[in-house]
C-alpha cells in the first residue's frame, strides 16, 4: 500500500519568488483598494498547479516569524545585506495566509526559527511516522533535507514550474555527495545572499571536491595536518571558526520546538464558497470565472470606480429557451417594444460568413432560438419586429448584425444597447470581440466564451445538438439584456452617454453602410502591375545573388544579416533581439554598397507586390468586384478606427510606385468619379484648442504654415528673414514630437542631432508656446490623480502605468497621457463629421456614397455632376463638426481614380 503523503510548503521563499517573478509589472496587479496582488497571483497559481492536484493527506505552509532568529543571535550579520522587504510585498503577507487557509492548509510560524527549520523538523517527524514527504520551496539549500522518503521541489522561472530533487538527483548535481553533505559544502563556500562567510578562495567546485574527499568539515579538519602546504591550507586554518559557524548556519534544524503535531496538519480541502468572496476582494476575475463555471454562486460585488455596486451574476442561472419555428411565431408578436437579438455567424468576417442561428427575446417573455434563417427574411412577425422602428433592439456588435442582415435584405432598425460598443467606451481595454469574455470582464459570469463552446482553429464547430447551441445563444442574449442597465448607468456616471448615443452608435450605422457599399477595385489593373513587378523582382533577385556571390532568401532578415555583416563584413549599426537589424534606417546608412541598394529596391517592390497587389487581389469579391473592409470600432486605445480584411487605411502614397496602387481603386459606375476631403493639420489644431495656447491659436487663425511658424519661433527669426527648408523640416519634427509626447532622445534621433541640442529646442518650443507646457503638465498630473485621460467628447483612456515605479512604463504612460486626448479628439471630430455627412447626403437626395475613412480624410464616389456640390458641401460639414477655438481646414480633390484624387 502506498504511504500517506505529507506536503510542506516554504511560504516565505515562494512568496518572494512569486513577488519578484511579476515585479516588473507590480503596479499592474492591484485590486480596487490599491492592494498589490502580484505575489498573491503567483502563489495562487502555485497552489492551483501543485498543491490542489497533489491532494496530500497532510499539509503545512511554513512562514518566518520575524527578522530575528537563533541564527541572527549567533551571527549578527546573518542575512545582513538583504534589502528591506518591499512594502508592496509586506502588505500581501496577511492575505497570503488567508488564501492558504481557504485552500484548507495549515499556516505555521515559530518565534526564533525560520520557515526552513519548521519544514526540516516536520519533514523528519513525517518521515519517522511513515509518510512520503514532499517539500516545495524556492530555496536550493533545502535540498539538504532530501532522503529516501523526502523529496524537494525547487521552483524554476517563476513559481509554476519545478525541478524535483531525489537522492539520485542530488548525487548527480553534487558529484556523488549525499544530501546531508550539502551543508558542509555550504560551510566552506559561504553564502553571499544569506551573508555568511565560509573560507576565502573556496567556491562551490573546490568545496564539493574537498567534501567528496573528506566526507565532512569536521573530518576535513581532523586530517588537515596531512594536507600539503598551500594557500588553501593556510586559509582553512585561519578561517576555521568561520567555516564551523557557516556550517552551523547552513544546517536546517530538524529539532525545532514545534507547538504543533502531525495531527494538526490534515488537509481540509478547498473552501470554494469562501474563496469566491476572497477572490472578489482581490479582483481575481479569472479565478472567479473558473469557480462560477464549477457552479459556485458569485454574489455581492465590489464598488467600481463610479461608486456603484457591480452586478455579479451566478453562472447556474436558469436558462429557458424555446425553439422558434414557422408555427409558433405568434410568440414574437408578444415580446413588446424592447427585445434582445443575437445572430450567430460561422466566421468573423460578417461580409462573407454564413448566418447559422439566431435568438430573440427579453426578460419578461423569455428567449426563442432557431437555425431557420429564412424566418428572418420571409414576411414573418419576426422580420417585422427587426425592421420596426418602434421596437428597440439590444445587441452585441450592431454593425456586424446590420451588415449580415442587409445581405439577407433585412433592415435592422432602432438599435438600443450595443454591449460591444458600450463596454469599449467604458474601458478601451475591454476590446475583446468575444461576448462571453467581455461579459465576464464586466462581472457577469453566466455565459461562456465562444472558444469554450465552439472550439478554435481546426476544431471550431457549431454544436449539432439544438439544445447545446440554443442554450449558449440564450445565455448570450441574456448577458446582453442583463448588462444593459448597469453598463448604461456607468456610461452616465462617466458623462459618456452622449458619446454613445450621439457619436458611436450612429457611427456604427454609417460604417455598416460604408462597408456594405465597398469600393470597386480594378483587378485587371492589379494583374498588369503584378506581371511588371514580378519581372522586375526576378531581375533584382538575380542581381542581388550576383552581387552577394551566392543565393539566399532575401526575405529572411536572418540570412540577409549573415550575408551583409558576416560574409561581406559590413559594419552592423543596430542589433535586434535575435541578431543584426537589417531595417531601412540601417541599410540606408550603407547604401553606397551596390548590393544594399539593390536590397532596398527589392524590399520596396516586394512589399508592394505581396501586401498590396497580391493581398488586394485575394480579397476582391467575385460578385461585385469590390473590396469590403471591416472597420474595427472597438479596438484602438485612442478612439480611432482601424481597418482589416483588407486594411484600406495604409494603401501606399508616399512613394510613387506604391501610390500607383491607388489607380486600381475606381468608381463603381461609369461617369462617376472619386472625391476626397482631408483635414489639414487636425491634430495640431486640436492641440491649439485644448492647450489654449495663444501663439499656436494665432498661427491657425491667420492660416499660417504651422511648421514655418514654429520654425520662426524656435529659431528666433526676425520677420524679414526667410525660413529655410531645413529649419522647416526640423520644426515639423518638433510639432510631431509634441503630439507624440516629446522626449529629447526621440527628437534627437528623428532630426539627427544630439540630445543636448534637442533638449534646447524643446525648451525654446515650450517658452514660445507656454500654454502647451502648462497643458502637458496638467494632463499628466490629472492622469496621475484620476488614472485616466479624456478627449473633448469624454472618450476615456485608462493609464494603469502612470504611477509605475519603472521609468519606462511610467514615461510611456506620460507620453500617452499627452497623445491620447489629441489623437482621440481628432477621431471624435471626424466621427461626428461622418455622421452628419451621411445624413446630409440623404437629405439632399444625392447619389454620392461615402466609401472610406483614413483617420483625417474621407473618400467618396459620386456622379461627375455632383462634384461641384461636394467641393462646397463636404468641407462645410467637416469643418463645422465641432466648434473649436481655432478654425478647422479641409482640402478637397477629385479624380477618375483614388490615385488621381490628389
Judged by CB under 7 A, the chain residues 558 through 597 that form the site for DNA are 558-559, 576-579, 581-584, 587
Q: Min. distance of Cβ 619 from DNA in angstroms?
A: 8
- Residue number, 83 or 225, with CB nearest to DNA: 83
Binders in 815-854 for DNA, by CB under 7 A: 815-816, 819-820, 823, 854
Q: How far is the CB of 529 from DNA (least distance, A)?
A: 15
Q: Does 610 help bind DNA (rule: CB under 7 A)?
A: yes
Tell me the window of 68-76, 639-647, 711-719, 788-796 that interacts with DNA (CB under 7 A). 639-647
Q: 348 or 468: whose CB is closer to DNA? A: 348
Which member of 11, 416, 741, 821 binds DNA (CB under 7 A)? 741
Angstrom distance (rounded) from CA 369 to CA 389: 22
Q: How far is the CB of 728 from DNA (least distance, A)?
A: 14
Residue number, 198 or 737, with CB nearest to DNA? 737
* Least Å from the CB of residue 404 to DNA: 19
Cα 855 versus chain centre, distance: 23
Contact (Cβ atoms closer than 8 angstroms) between residue 347 and residue 353:
yes
CB of 652 to DNA, least distance (A): 4
Residue 431: which residues within 8 A CB-CB, separation 6 or more? 424, 634, 635
Binding-residue pattern over the window 504 to 543 for DNA, x denoting contact by CB under 7 A: ----------------------------------------
Member of 77, 81, 538, 556 binding DNA (CB under 7 A): 556
In the bound state with DNA, the residue whose beta carbon lies nearer, of 301 and 658, is: 658
How far apart CA 662 and CA 659 sit, in angstroms, is 6
SS3 content of the chain, % helix, strand, coil (to 5): 50, 15, 35
Give the number of other CB atoms < 10 A from CB of residue 407: 15
Q: Does 603 participate in binding DNA (rule CB under 7 A)?
A: yes
| Nearest to 336, CA basis, from 403, 394, 410, 421 | 394
Which residue in the set 259, 553, 722, 883 belongs to the binding site for DNA (CB under 7 A)? 553
Distance CA 212, CA 209 (A): 5
The binder of DNA chosen from 344, 857, 861, 879 (CB under 7 A):
857
**Quick one: which segment of 37-45, 235-243, 334-342, 551-559 binds DNA (CB under 7 A)?**
551-559
- For residue 612, the minimal CB distance to DNA (Å) is 8
Decide if 518 contacts 622 (C-beta within 8 A): no
Q: Which stretch binds DNA (CB under 7 A): 211-219, 712-720, 734-742, 781-789?
A: 734-742
Which listed range, 180-188, 278-286, 343-351, 555-563, lies at the site for DNA (CB under 7 A)?
555-563
382-441: which residues touch DNA (CB under 7 A)? none
Nearest approach, Cβ of 202 to DNA (angstroms)? 33
Beta bridge partners of 675: 860, 894
Contacts of 454 (CB under 8 A, 6+ apart): 460, 461, 462, 463
Beta-carbon count within 10 A of 839 CB: 13
User: For residues 560 and 553, what is the distance between their CA atoms, to the nearest angstrom?
Assistant: 7
Q: Give, as ranges, the residues between 11 and 70 that touch DNA (CB under 7 A).
A: none
Q: Rounded to whole angstroms, how far apart are CA atoms 570 and 550?
A: 16
| CB nearer DNA, residue 346 or residue 541 | 541
At closest approach, how far in Å is the CB of 537 from DNA?
A: 11
Binding test (CB under 7 A) with DNA, winner from 180, 216, 663, 743: 743
User: Of 644-703, which residues contact DNA (CB under 7 A)?
Assistant: 644-647, 649-655, 658-659
Q: How many residues bind DNA (CB under 7 A)?
A: 72
Residue for grid cell 414573418: 380
Cβ of residue 39: shortest distance to DNA, in angstroms?
A: 23
Of 29 and 612, CB closest to DNA: 612
Judged by CB, which is closer to DNA: 356, or 739? 739
Phi-psi sector, 495: left (phi>0), alpha (psi -120 to 50), beta = left
What are the b/e assignments for 790-799, b being 16+ CB within 10 Å?
Answer: bbbbbbbbbb
Residue 870 Rama label (left phi>0; alpha psi -120 to 50; beta):
alpha
Q: Is 3 in the site for DNA (CB under 7 A)?
A: no
Which of 202/608 has CB closer to DNA? 608
Instruction: Rule CB under 7 A: choose which of 244, 568, 593, 635 binds DNA.
Output: 635
Nearest to 650 by CA among 636, 664, 662: 662
User: In this complex, which beta carbon is closest to DNA, that of residue 14 or of residue 616?
Assistant: 616
103 grid coordinates: 485552500
| The three cell numbers locating residue 374 | 429564412
The piece of 200-208, 397-405, 638-646, 836-844 that touches DNA (CB under 7 A) is 638-646
Q: Is 327 exposed, middle or buried (0-12, 13-18, 19+ CB in 10 A)?
A: exposed
- Site residues for DNA, 750-809, by CB under 7 A, read 750, 807-808
Q: How far is the CB of 243 from DNA (least distance, A)?
A: 38
Structural contact between residues 133 and 6, judged by C-beta atoms closer than 8 angstroms: yes
Asked whether the CA dihedral 215, 220, 222, 228 is positive or negative, the reply is: positive
Cα–Cα distance, 137 to 12 (Å, whole number): 9
Asked whether position 895 contacts DNA by CB under 7 A, the answer is no
Minimum CB separation of residue 585 from DNA in Å reads: 7
Q: Does 261 bind DNA (CB under 7 A)?
A: no
Residues facing 137 on adjacent strands? 154
Q: Is residue 902 involved in binding DNA (CB under 7 A)?
A: no
Q: Assess 707 for contact with DNA (CB under 7 A).
A: no
Q: Could you say which of 209, 642, 680, 764 contacts DNA (CB under 7 A)?
A: 642
Within 10 angstroms of residue 161's Cβ, the number of other Cβ atoms is 12
The answer to the question of residue 202 lying near DNA (CB under 7 A) is no
Chain positions 318 to 337 lying near DNA, rule: CB under 7 A, are: none
- 365 lies in the site for DNA, by CB under 7 A: no
Minimum CB–partner distance for residue 578 and DNA (Å): 4
Does 811 interact with DNA (rule: CB under 7 A)?
Answer: yes
**β-strands 321-323, 890-895: how paired?**
unpaired
Closest by CA position to 500, among listed 629, 389, 398:
398
What DSSP string describes 194-214? Answer: TTB---TT--HHHHHHHHHHH
CA 843 to chain CA centroid, Å, is: 43
Q: Could you tell me which stretch among 118-126, 221-229, 291-299, 552-560 binds DNA (CB under 7 A)?
A: 552-560
Please report where in the chains the cell 477572490 appears, as a residue. Answer: 279
**CB 837 within 8 Å of CB 850:** yes
Rounded to a whole number of angstroms, the minimum distance from the CB of residue 794 to DNA is 18
CA distances, 658 to each of 7, 605, 610, 641 (Å)? 66, 8, 12, 23
CA end-to-end span of the chain: 85
Smallest separation, CB 687 to DNA (Å): 13
The least distance separating DNA from the CB of residue 347, rounded to whole angstroms, comes to 14
- Binding positions for DNA, 453-482, rule CB under 7 A: none
3-state secondary structure of 54: helix
Contact pick of 607, 621, 729, 756 for DNA (by CB under 7 A): 607
Distance of CA 62 to the CA centre of its chain: 36
Q: How far is the CB of 121 from DNA (least distance, A)?
A: 43
In the bound complex, what is the minimum distance in angstroms from residue 887's beta carbon to DNA?
18
In the complex, minimum distance from the CB of residue 123 to DNA, in angstroms, rounded to a whole number: 39
CB-facing half-sphere around the CA of 468: CA atoms within 13 A: 9
The residue range among 71-79, 99-107, 663-671, 744-752 that interacts with DNA, by the rule CB under 7 A, is: 744-752
Report CA-CA distances (Å) from 196 to 3, 16, 191, 423.
Answer: 38, 20, 5, 56
Q: Does 722 bind DNA (CB under 7 A)?
A: no
- Cis preceding linkage at 275, omega within 30: no
Amino acid at each position: 500500500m502506498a504511504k500517506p503523503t505529507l506536503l510542506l510548503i516554504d511560504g516565505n521563499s515562494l512568496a518572494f519568488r512569486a513577488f519578484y517573478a511579476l515585479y516588473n509589472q507590480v503596479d499592474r496587479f492591484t485590486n480596487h483598494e490599491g492592494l498589490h496582488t502580484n505575489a498573491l497571483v503567483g502563489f495562487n497559481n502555485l497552489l492551483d498547479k501543485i498543491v490542489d492536484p497533489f491532494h496530500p493527506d497532510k499539509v503545512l505552509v511554513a512562514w518566518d516569524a520575524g527578522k530575528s532568529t537563533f541564527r541572527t543571535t549567533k551571527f549578527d550579520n546573518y542575512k545582513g545585506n538583504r534589502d528591506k522587504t518591499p512594502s508592496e510585498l509586506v502588505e500581501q503577507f496577511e492575505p497570503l495566509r488567508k488564501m492558504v487557509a481557504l485552500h484548507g492548509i495549515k499556516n505555521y510560524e515559530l518565534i526564533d526559527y525560520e520557515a526552513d527549520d519548521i519544514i526540516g523538523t516536520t519533514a523528519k517527524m513525517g518521515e519517522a511516522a511513515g509518510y512520503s514527504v514532499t517539500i516545495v520551496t524556492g530555496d536550493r539549500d533545502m535540498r539538504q533535507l532530501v532522503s529516501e522518503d523526502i523529496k524537494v521541489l525547487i521552483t524554476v522561472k517563476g513559481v509554476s514550474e519545478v525541478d524535483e530533487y531525489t537522492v539520485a538527483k542530488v548525487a548527480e548535481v553534487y558529484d556523488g555527495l549525499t544530501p546531508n553533505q550539502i551543508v558542509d559544502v555550504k560551510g566552506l563556500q559561504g553564502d553571499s545572499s544569506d551573508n555568511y562567510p565560509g573560507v576565502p578562495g573556496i567556491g562551490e567546485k573546490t568545496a564539493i571536491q574537498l567534501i567528496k574527499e573528506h566526507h565532512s568539515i569536521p573530518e576535513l579538519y581532523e586530517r588537515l595536518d596531512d594536507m600539503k602546504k598551500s594557500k588553501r591550507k593556510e586559509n582553512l586554518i585561519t578561517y576555521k571558526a568561520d567555516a564551523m559557524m557557516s556550517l552551523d548556519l547552513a544546517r536546517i534544524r530538524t529539532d525545532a520546538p514545534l507547538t504543533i503535531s502531525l495531527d494538526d496538519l490534515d488537509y481540509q480541502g478547498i473552501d470554494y464558497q469562501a474563496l469566491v468572496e476572497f477572490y472578489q476582494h482581490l479582483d481575481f476575475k479569472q479565478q472567479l470565472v473558473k469557480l462560477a463555471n464549477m457552479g459556485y454562486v458569485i454574489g455581492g460585488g465590489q464598488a467600481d470606480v463610479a461608486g456603484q455596486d457591480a452586478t455579479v451574476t451566478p453562472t447556474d442561472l436558469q436558462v429557458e429557451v424555446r425553439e422558434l419555428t414557422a408555427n409558433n411565431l405568434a410568440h414574437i408578436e408578444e415580446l413588446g417594444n424592447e427585445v434582445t437579438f443575437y445572430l450567430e455567424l460561422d466566421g468573423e468576417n460578417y461580409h462573407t460568413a454564413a448566418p447559422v442561428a439566431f435568438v430573440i427575446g427579453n426578460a419578461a417573455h423569455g428567449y426563442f432560438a432557431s437555425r431557420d434563417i429564412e424566418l428572418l427574411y420571409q414576411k414573418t412577425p419576426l422580420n417585422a419586429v427587426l425592421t420596426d422602428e418602434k421596437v428597440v433592439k439590444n445587441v452585441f456588435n450592431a454593425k456586424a448584425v446590420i451588415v449580415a442582415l442587409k445581405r439577407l435584405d433585412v433592415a435592422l432598425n432602432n438599435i438600443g444597447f450595443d454591449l460591444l460598443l458600450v463596454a469599449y467606451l467604458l474601458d478601451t481595454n475591454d476590446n475583446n470581440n468575444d461576448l462571453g469574455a467581455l461579459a465576464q470582464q464586466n462581472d457577469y459570469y453566466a455565459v461562456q466564451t465562444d472558444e469554450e463552446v465552439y472550439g478554435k482553429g481546426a476544431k471550431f464547430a457549431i454544436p449539432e445538438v439544438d439544445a447545446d447551441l440554443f442554450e449558449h445563444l440564450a445565455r448570450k442574449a441574456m448577458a446582453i439584456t442583463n448588462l444593459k442597465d448597469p453598463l448604461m448607468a456607468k456610461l452616465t456616471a462617466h458623462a459618456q452617454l452622449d458619446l454613445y448615443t450621439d457619436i458611436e452608435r450612429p457611427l456604427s450605422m454609417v460604417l455598416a453602410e460604408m462597408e456594405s457599399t465597398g469600393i470597386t477595385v480594378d483587378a485587371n489593373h492589379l494583374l498588369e502591375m503584378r506581371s511588371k513587378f514580378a519581372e522586375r523582382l526576378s531581375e533584382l533577385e538575380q542581381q542581388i545573388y550576383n552581387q552577394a556571390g551566392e543565393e539566399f532568401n532575401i526575405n529572411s532578415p536572418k540570412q540577409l544579416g549573415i550575408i551583409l555583416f558576416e560574409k561581406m563584413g559590413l559594419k552592423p549599426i543596430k542589433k535586434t533581439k535575435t541578431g543584426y537589424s537589417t531595417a531601412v534606417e540601417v541599410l540606408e546608412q550603407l547604401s553606397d554598397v551596390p548590393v544594399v541598394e539593390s536590397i532596398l529596391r527589392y524590399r520596396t517592390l516586394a512589399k508592394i507586390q505581396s501586401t498590396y497587389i497580391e493581398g488586394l487581389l485575394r480579397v476582391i469579391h467575385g460578385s461585385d468586384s469590390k473590396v469590403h473592409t471591416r472597420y474595427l470600432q472597438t479596438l484602438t486605445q485612442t478612439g480611432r478606427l482601424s481597418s482589416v480584411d483588407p486594411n484600406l487605411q495604409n494603401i501606399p502614397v508616399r512613394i510613387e510606385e506604391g501610390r500607383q496602387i491607388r489607380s486600381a481603386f475606381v468608381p463603381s459606375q461609369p461617369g462617376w468619379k472619386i472625391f476626397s476631403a482631408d483635414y489639414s493639420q487636425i491634430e495640431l489644431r486640436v492641440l491649439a484648442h485644448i492647450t489654449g495656447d495663444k501663439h499656436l491659436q494665432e498661427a491657425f487663425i491667420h492660416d499660417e504654415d504651422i511648421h514655418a511658424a514654429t520654425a520662426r519661433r524656435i529659431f528666433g527669426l526676425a520677420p524679414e528673414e526667410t525660413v529655410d527648408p531645413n529649419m522647416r523640416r526640423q520644426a515639423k519634427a518638433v510639432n510631431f514630437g509634441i503630439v507624440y509626447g516629446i522626449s529629447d532622445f526621440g527628437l534627437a534621433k528623428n532630426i539627427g542631432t544630439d540630445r543636448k541640442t534637442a533638449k534646447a529646442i524643446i525648451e525654446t518650443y515650450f517658452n514660445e508656446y507656454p500654454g502647451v507646457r502648462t497643458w502637458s503638465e496638467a494632463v499628466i498630473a490629472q492622469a496621475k490623480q484620476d488614472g485616466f485621460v479624456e478627449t473633448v467628447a469624454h472618450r476615456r483612456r485608462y493609464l494603469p502605468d502612470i504611477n509605475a515605479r519603472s521609468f519606462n512604463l511610467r514615461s510611456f504612460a506620460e507620453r500617452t497621457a499627452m497623445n491620447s486626448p489629441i489623437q482621440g479628439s481628432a477621431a471624435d471630430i471626424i466621427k461626428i463629421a461622418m455622421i452628419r455627412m451621411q445624413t446630409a447626403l440623404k437629405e439632399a437626395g444625392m447619389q454620392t456614397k461615402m466609401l472610406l475613412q483614413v483617420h483625417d480624410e474621407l473618400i467618396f464616389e459620386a456622379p461627375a455632376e455632383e462634384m461641384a456640390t461636394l467641393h462646397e458641401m463636404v468641407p462645410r460639414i467637416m469643418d463645422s463638426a465641432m466648434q473649436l477655438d481655432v478654425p478647422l481646414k479641409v482640402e478637397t480633390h477629385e479624380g477618375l481614380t483614388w490615385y488621381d484624387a490628389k
